[in-house]
Amino acid sequence: MTKTARFTNIRANTNKYVFPLTMGVDSGSLTAKAVIMNGDKKIVADNVVQLDFVSPKAVEEAIHNVLTFSGLQRKDISYTVGTGYGRRNLNFADKAITEITCHARGANCVYPEGRMVIDVGGQDSKAIVIDEKGNAINFAMNDRCAAGTGQFLEVMARALGIKLEAIGELSLKAQKKLEISSICVVFAETEVISLVAQGEEKKDILRAIHYSIARRVAGIAGRVGVVKPVIMTGGVAKNIGMVRALEKVLNVPIHVPEDPQIIGAIGAAMFAQDYAAQST
């Protein structure tokens, strides 16, 4: 699945761009994200591509899309920073920076008031405390278990025979409070199948799944201490049921940016702006 690239500047006339132009590339476990940013720290184009696990092809497609839609070539890009799960494989990047650092910077760019970033991605979950400049000052993460990640949701959606993009809204229609007690994906899937066999409504099961993940993520956030305001990033932030469950468990409102998937790439592009300025 390829998301259509967006652009906020004049597409084909590169003379209209404010230089330097930089690129942030976030090579995630399941998606690749690319952002082009101009010298005014405005996003020129962004794209999200979902293909295979840590896919170089997805990265190349995302880069191709943002360059094509903005009417640019690689030679127009002054500096590129790579981040994410597969950042060490981005040989074209001028520099690689951890996703913790880039998500902190990107979150600060789109929501300067935020002081905690909760990022739920395909393979891990992170809670990052940030300062007013977007520096990460403390963090905790879960990267050894699929519970509390987007992968968990994908497995559960398949088990229920529901499209992943539909489960959030459906879970909000739940009328019964069920419990998923297992934190292991395999055992949780068995619980879900048992609930279906017992005749429980899928919407009620989905609510239980979302709250199970929310409690897991809240535990991660609790290790560093919840600091308001909270911003949620990553693909799972597009799931309204997950956001509402996490708000309830944490007892705090959660801000979700317009496109939570590209926050790491935005942060990488911001750092690229810094490095480009230093080299001039």
Domains and CATH numbers, the chain: 6-105+262-278 (3.30.420.40), 113-256 (3.30.420.40)
Longest distance between any two alpha carbons in the chain, whole Å: 67
CA-CA distance, 76 to 79, in Å (whole number)?
A: 9
CA-CA distance, 250 to 215, in Å (whole number)?
A: 8
| Encoded tokens for 171 | 């879970």
Place of tokens 């967006």: 6
pLDDT tops 50 at residue 8: no
pLDDT at 2: 55
Nearest-10 Cα torsion for 48, 53, 57, 59: 40
Question: Measured in whole angstroms, how far is the alpha carbon of residue 136 from the centre of its chain?
Answer: 16
Give the pTM. Answer: 0.90
Of 169, 136, 161, 152, whose CA–CA distance to 212 is shortest? Answer: 152
For the chain, strand residue ranges (E) read: 6-7, 21-27, 31-37, 43-50, 77-83, 95-96, 116-120, 125-130, 136-142, 230-233, 254-255
| pLDDT tens per residue, range 12-62 | 445 567 889 999 999 987 889 999 999 999 999 999 998 666 678 889 999
pLDDT tops 80 at residue 94: yes
| pLDDT tens per residue, range 191-239 | 888 898 899 999 999 999 999 889 989 999 999 999 999 999 998 999 9
pLDDT tops 50 at residue 171: yes
3-state helix, strand, coil in the chain (%, to 5): 45, 20, 35
| pLDDT tens per residue, range 138-153 | 999 985 555 667 778 8
| % the chain with pLDDT above 70 | 88
| Encoded tokens for 139 | 């963090």
| pLDDT tens per residue, range 83-92 | 998 888 888 9
